[in-house]
Amino acid sequence: MAAPESGDGNNGAARMVTLISSDNTRFEVEAAAASLSQTLQLTILDGGGGGGDGIPLPNVDSATLSKVLEYCIKHAPAAANGGAPNATAVDRAELERFDNEFVNIDQSVLYSLIMAAHNLEIEGLQSLVAKKVADMIKGKSPMEIRRTLGFPDPTPEEQAEMNAHMLEYGWAYE
């Protein structure tokens, strides 16, 4: 039961929604920013998240959520302009600088961010983190990648498969 005054409060101040992280921290953000998440968008359109209700996000902890919202708030104005076709070059450069800075983070934070972007389906953030991970693994050998991404050591069987593959793809290691 959403309170009517919050659900239809589309006049005056921007509508706010409340998001609740897995550790029960409440975040109040503009609906426009939260709507960058495809997952949340429908709920918000239906009038959810207003008033005292809040939208629970059991997969996202508060540290990650605040990081995600930082991104959303920064990108919401541009997204509201329909992908910002008329944004000035300065605005775009500023966003780019922000993005670069934004993913310059510890790998465990990055991982949480990837999962959150994925679960919340925030398209811009998804491609931003994907690009970051791609940059991280570029030029590395398979073993280095396993180490970078924290895979367990290969079993003998896996090691044999890897060796066989390296033989087949010798040219890719040149």
Sheet strand arrangement including 55-56: 26-30, 16-20, 55-56
Distance CA 171, CA 173 (A): 5
Pairing relationship of beta strands 55-56 and 16-20 according to DSSP bridges = parallel
When asked if residue 160 is in the footprint of other proteins (CB under 8 A), the reply is no
Residue ranges in 121-150 that form contacts with other proteins under rule CB under 8 A: 121, 123, 126-127, 129-131, 133-134, 137-139, 141-142, 145-146, 148-150
Q: Which residue in 8, 23, 25, 38 binds other proteins (CB under 8 A)?
A: 38
104: which 2 tokens? 């310059």
**Residue 95 vs 116, nearer CB to other proteins:** 116
Q: How far is the CB of 134 from other proteins (least distance, A)?
A: 4
Q: Which residue in 24, 39, 75, 91 binds other proteins (CB under 8 A)?
A: 39
Distance CA 172, CA 82 (A): 41
Distance CA 163, CA 154 (A): 11
Tell me the backbone φ, ψ of residue 55, rounded to 5 degrees: -105, 115
Residues 68-107 as x/- pattern, contact with other proteins by CB under 8 A: --------------------------------------xx
Q: Which residue in 108, 125, 153, 160 binds other proteins (CB under 8 A)?
A: 108
Region from 5-13, 23-31, 75-83, 154-162 binding other proteins, contact rule CB under 8 A: 154-162
Distance CA 79, CA 25 (A): 26
